[in-house]
Structure 1
Amino acid sequence: MLQYESHPLDKAFHALSDPGRRAMIERLSVGPASVSELARPLPMSLSAALQHLKVLEEAGLIKSGKQGRVRTCTLQTAAMAQAERWIAERKRFWEQQYDQLEAYLAQAPSTGEAE
Structure 2
Amino acid sequence: MDEVAEAIADPIRRDILEMLRDGRLTAGDIAARFPVSRPAVSRHLRVLRQADLVRDELVGRQRFYQTETEPFTALVEWLARFDRPRGWEHRLDALETEVYRTRRERRAEPVEKKRTA
**TM-score normalised to structure 2 length:** 0.70
Q: Which amino acid aligns with 2:11?
A: P
Residue of structure 1 in register with 2:36 after alignment: 44
Runs of 4+ in 1 over 6 A off after TM superposition: none
Residue of structure 2 in register with 1:66 after alignment: 58
How well do the aligned residues superpose, as a CA RMSD in angstroms? 1.8
Query: 2:74 & 2:66 partners in 1: Cα distance?
Result: 18
Q: What is the number of equivalent residue pairs in this alignment?
A: 90
Pairing partner for 1:26 from 14, 18, 21: 18
Unaligned ranges ≥5, structure 2: 92-117
Following TM superposition, by how much is the alpha carbon of 1:70 offset from its aligned partner in structure 2, in angstroms? 0.3
After superposition, give the CA deviation of every residue in 1:11-60 in whole Å (9 maximum; x if it has no partner): 11111111110110000000000001111111111111110000001111
Unaligned ranges ≥5, structure 1: 1-8, 104-115
Query: 1:80 & 1:38 partners in 2: Cα distance?
Result: 21
Query: 1:89 & 1:78 partners in 2: Cα distance?
Result: 18
- SS for the counterpart of 1:24 is helix
> Larger % of helix: which?
2
Q: Which amino acid aligns with 1:60?
A: D
What percentage of aligned pairs have identical amino acids?
29
Query: 1:57 & 1:10 partners in 2: Cα distance?
Result: 14
Following TM superposition, by how much is the alpha carbon of 1:65 offset from its aligned partner in structure 2, in angstroms? 1.3
Query: 2:72 & 2:54 partners in 1: Cα distance?
Result: 10
Q: Which amino acid aligns with 2:26?
A: S
Residue of structure 2 in register with 1:89 after alignment: 81
